[in-house]
């Protein structure tokens, strides 16, 4: 007979089998009780607070360098500018910035869905600007939205790409061309023609990665100043041709002529219209 040692004697095969069966049955009952127990519901996530959200001073160069890298690693200009700022805010501030998804602005690449409209770097960065500077009162909103307006105007006047991120780039010293517009179509096409490059070329990818980096750098600098109460909107200084148009059609002129204020924005008129300064 097979036996098993026990304290004070031995267990027979029959006793071993009986004991094992009882243990298995008890285990099954215990498992069933555990399975039937009501699961603890997950804690409800905290509601996102109202805008504006907290900003802390960030390193503009680090923001720009992240944007340069994110352009090539995470899907284009919209994600590049947005995620460069968001990732720093998640690290330095935490909640509520940690509630935002990293890829929320991926659709802005190539002028939003490849349509060539607003440069995605401007769209991604302006999302963060709004969340930091938003005001409930319309006058406050109009004042704070000037940062976005002046950012777009700065972009149009900029010769891209700058050399600020050439130390990261395999193609330093690229040809620089004035964007002339916040539109991806104009900004990229003018540069591609001047550089004899295609929009799928390595040269164009490097150019736009540097553009995204520069946008992130400028926006971080502006929001640092805004947070410290030192940001002053730059004065809009249109070309003489656009100033002539605005005198009749607005905006930013106290007394318009007969047509009054019937156009929107501060874009360069001569991109689409002929010069009417002699009329």
Average pLDDT, the chain: 84
* Residue 131 within any structural domain of the chain: yes
Global pTM value: 0.79
* Residue 78 within any structural domain of the chain: yes
Pairing of strands 3-6, 9-12: antiparallel
* Residue 47 within any structural domain of the chain: no
Is 209 found in the same domain as 102? yes
Cα(245)–Cα(230) distance, rounded to whole angstroms?
32
Q: How far is C-alpha 127 from the geometric centre of its chain's CA atoms?
A: 7
Is 211 found in the same domain as 108? yes
pLDDT tens digits for 241-278?
Answer: 767 777 777 666 655 555 566 777 777 765 777 776 76
DSSP state of 122: H
Is 253 found in the same domain as 184? no
Is 64 found in the same domain as 169? yes
Is 154 found in the same domain as 133? yes
pLDDT at res. 251: 67
Is 160 found in the same domain as 111? yes
Is 187 found in the same domain as 129? yes
Local structure of 157: helix, strand or coil = helix
Is 107 found in the same domain as 174? yes
Number of domains in the chain: 2
Is 201 found in the same domain as 65? yes
* Residue 161 within any structural domain of the chain: yes
* Residue 27 within any structural domain of the chain: no
* Structural domain for 92, as ranges: 60-227
The parts of the chain modelled with pLDDT lower than 70 are 1-38, 138-143, 240, 242, 250-261, 269-270, 276, 278-279
Cα(245)–Cα(241) distance, rounded to whole angstroms?
7
DSSP state of 23: H
The most distant pair of C-alpha atoms in the chain lies apart, rounded to whole Å, by: 119
Is 193 found in the same domain as 249? no
Is the bond leading into 251 cis (omega within 30 degrees of zero)? yes
Is 183 found in the same domain as 86? yes
pLDDT at res. 110: 97
pLDDT at res. 276: 67
C-beta neighbour count of 244 within 10 angstroms: 17
Is 249 found in the same domain as 177? no
**Considering Cα of 158, then 159, then 163, then 165, what sign does the dihedral take?**
positive
pLDDT at res. 196: 98
DSSP per-residue codes, 228-243? TT---PPPP---HHHH
pLDDT at res. 143: 64
């Amino acid at each position: 007979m097979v036996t098993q040692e026990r304290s004070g004697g031995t267990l027979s095969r029959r006793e071993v089998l009986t004991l094992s069966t009882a243990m298995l049955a008890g285990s099954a009952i215990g498992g069933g009780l555990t399975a039937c127990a009501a699961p603890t519901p997950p804690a409800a996530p905290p509601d996102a607070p109202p805008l504006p959200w907290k900003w802390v001073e960030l390193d503009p160069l680090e923001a720009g360098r992240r944007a340069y890298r994110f352009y090539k690693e995470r899907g284009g200009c919209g994600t590049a500018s947005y995620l460069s700022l968001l990732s720093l805010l998640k690290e330095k501030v935490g909640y509520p910035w940690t509630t935002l998804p990293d890829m929320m602005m991926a659709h802005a690449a190539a002028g939003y869905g490849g349509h060539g409209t607003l440069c995605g770097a401007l769209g991604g960065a302006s999302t963060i600007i709004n969340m930091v500077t938003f005001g409930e009162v319309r006058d406050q909103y109009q004042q704070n939205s000037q940062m976005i307006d002046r950012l777009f105007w700065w972009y149009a006047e900029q010769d891209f790409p700058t050399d600020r991120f050439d130390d990261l780039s395999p193609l330093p010293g690229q040809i620089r061309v004035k964007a002339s517009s916040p539109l991806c179509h104009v900004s990229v096409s003018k540069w591609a023609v001047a550089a004899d490059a295609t929009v799928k070329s390595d040269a164009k990818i490097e150019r736009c990665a540097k553009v995204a980096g520069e946008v992130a750098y400028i926006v971080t600098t502006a929001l640092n100043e805004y947070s410290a109460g030192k940001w002053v909107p730059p004065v809009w200084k249109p070309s003489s041709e656009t100033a002539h148009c605005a005198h009749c059609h607005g905006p930013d002129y106290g007394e318009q002529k007969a047509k009054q204020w019937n156009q929107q924005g501060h874009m360069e008129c001569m991109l689409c219209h002929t010069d009417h300064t002699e009329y």
